[in-house]
């Protein structure tokens, strides 16, 4: 059923289109035209305008001939973590990689190409199926912005699958963490560092005091915290008047996460009070975690599909986020599917041909398994 040369060529072509976050216009145009030319219903939303990018989310439908079957979706994202201009795409010993000084972009073209080939193959086969929606988002890598702007709740979908995590193919992420971000600004007081340093309040010293008493790193088995960026100061001859920091915390257990975040905020507040500085804190919940248990339709269908094509289904927990966090948060059950993308976000990124094919086989089987169900049974 799979047209392997077509699948591989599509994966290559998608990787070769430069599509960093907020600049995915060319990739969206390519996929839009491809799907439209093959008779799929294709539309774009207005996400680009909402998030300040040059591209929108793309929504395409393979309409079914089983009106009572669940309406499912297959999802992936257009953007990559860095520009791929100048990518030299190569295959060696059944492995795709970048032979140039760029990433490959398998994150997430290894999800997009199989999703497209799956609906093509199902359409060509003439097999009965329900409605299948392709959801391809923009700006995933910089905070799930495209998914957040997408009005998925208006599409009438029952559940779906986000093809966007590493090996093994046949594995599924059924539990993820909640992710908080914290921006901190510490305002001290400037003074000449040589003439009258005692009249200043050094914001760097305040930040150091706060951080020195802070628990960071691995807090628990499923809770982490980090301060990743710090900037400030104007010169060595000036007592530093201002420092800005960016931090985050993640946790599967929200109570434990809340405790960690409260600890971090109090450390900054107490240090500022001790030194007579001012602290401004912007704490926000980027996305909430989720958990799918066996017995829930979306997960059970995925496990059946994996077994049906001879793969070993495996359930995983991750502290990373994906569009599925947003979709689940909007009330549409979403399970993350392993695609085989490996060493992502590095120039050593690669994808095995076998994994590309098996991800496509799995996507096809997800559609077939959904066709066996009725919406009334969900």
Six token digits for residue 21: 């976050």
Order of all β-strands in the sheet with 58-62 = 41-44, 58-62, 132-137, 72-77, 159-165, 334-338, 171-176, 314-318
- Following DSSP, what letter does each residue of 208-270 receive, concatenated? HHHHHT---EEEETTEEEEEEEEEE-S-TTB---EEEEEEEEEESSHHHHHHHHHHHHHHHHH
**List 24, 79, 342, 369, catalytic entry:** 79
Q: If we measure between CA atoms, which residue out of 34, 15, 150, 32 comes closest to residue 79?
A: 15
Q: What angle do CA 41, 46, 47 make, to 5 degrees?
A: 110
Residue partners of 341: CB distance under 8 A and separation at least 6:
106, 107, 108, 110, 111, 164, 165, 166, 167, 349, 351
Q: Of the residues 24, 45, 117, 140, which is catalytic?
A: 140
Q: Report CA 93 to chain centroid distance, whole Å.
A: 29
Segments in the chain forming alpha helices (H): 4-16, 25-37, 47-51, 106-125, 145-149, 203-212, 254-275, 297-308, 323-329, 353-371
140 counts as catalytic: yes
CB 161 within 8 A of CB 304: no
* Other residues' Cβ atoms within 10 Å of the Cβ of residue 256: 16
Identify the H or E element spanning 175. strand 171-176
Residue that has been written with the tokens 């003074």 in this structure? 191
- Residue 198 annotated as catalytic: no
Catalytic residues: 79, 140
């Amino acid at each position: 059923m799979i047209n392997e040369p077509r699948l591989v060529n599509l994966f290559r072509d998608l990787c070769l289109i430069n599509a960093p976050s907020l600049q995915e216009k060319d990739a969206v145009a390519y996929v839009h035209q491809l799907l439209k030319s093959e008779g799929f219903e294709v539309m774009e939303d207005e996400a680009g305008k909402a998030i300040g990018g040059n591209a929108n989310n793309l929504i395409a439908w393979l309409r079914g001939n089983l009106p009572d079957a669940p309406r499912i979706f297959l999802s992936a994202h257009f953007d990559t973590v860095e520009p791929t201009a100048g990518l030299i795409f190569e295959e060696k010993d059944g492995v795709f990689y970048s032979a140039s000084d760029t990433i490959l972009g398998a994150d997430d073209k290894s999800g997009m190409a199989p999703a497209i080939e799956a609906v093509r193959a199902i359409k060509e086969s003439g097999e009965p199926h329900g409605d299948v929606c392709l959801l391809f988002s923009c700006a995933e890598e910089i905070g799930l912005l495209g998914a957040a702007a997408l009005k998925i709740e208006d599409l009438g979908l029952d559940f779906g699958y986000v093809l966007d995590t590493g090996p093994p193919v046949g594995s599924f992420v059924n539990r993820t963490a909640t992710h908080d971000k914290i921006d901190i600004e510490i305002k001290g007081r400037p003074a000449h560092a040589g003439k009258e340093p005692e009249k200043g309040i050094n914001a760097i010293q305040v930040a150091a005091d706060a951080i020195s008493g802070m628990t960071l790193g691995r807090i628990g088995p499923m809770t982490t915290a980090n301060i990743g960026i710090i900037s400030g100061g104007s010169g060595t001859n000036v007592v530093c008047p201002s420092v800005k920091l960016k931090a985050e915390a993640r946790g599967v257990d929200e109570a434990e996460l809340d405790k960690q975040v409260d600890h971090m905020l109090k450390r900054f507040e107490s240090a500022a009070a001790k030194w007579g500085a001012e602290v401004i804190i912007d704490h926000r919940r980027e996305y909430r975690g989720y958990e799918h248990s066996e017995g829930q339709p979306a997960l059970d269908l995925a496990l059946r599909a994996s077994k049906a094509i001879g793969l070993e289904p495996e359930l995983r927990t991750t502290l990373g986020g994906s569009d599925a966090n947003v979709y689940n948060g909007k009330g549409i059950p979403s399970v993350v599917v392993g695609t085989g993308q490996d060493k992502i976000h590095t120039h050593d990124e690669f994808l095995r041909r076998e994994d590309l094919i098996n991800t496509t086989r799995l996507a096809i089987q997800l559609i077939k398994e959904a066709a066996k169900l009725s919406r009334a049974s969900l």
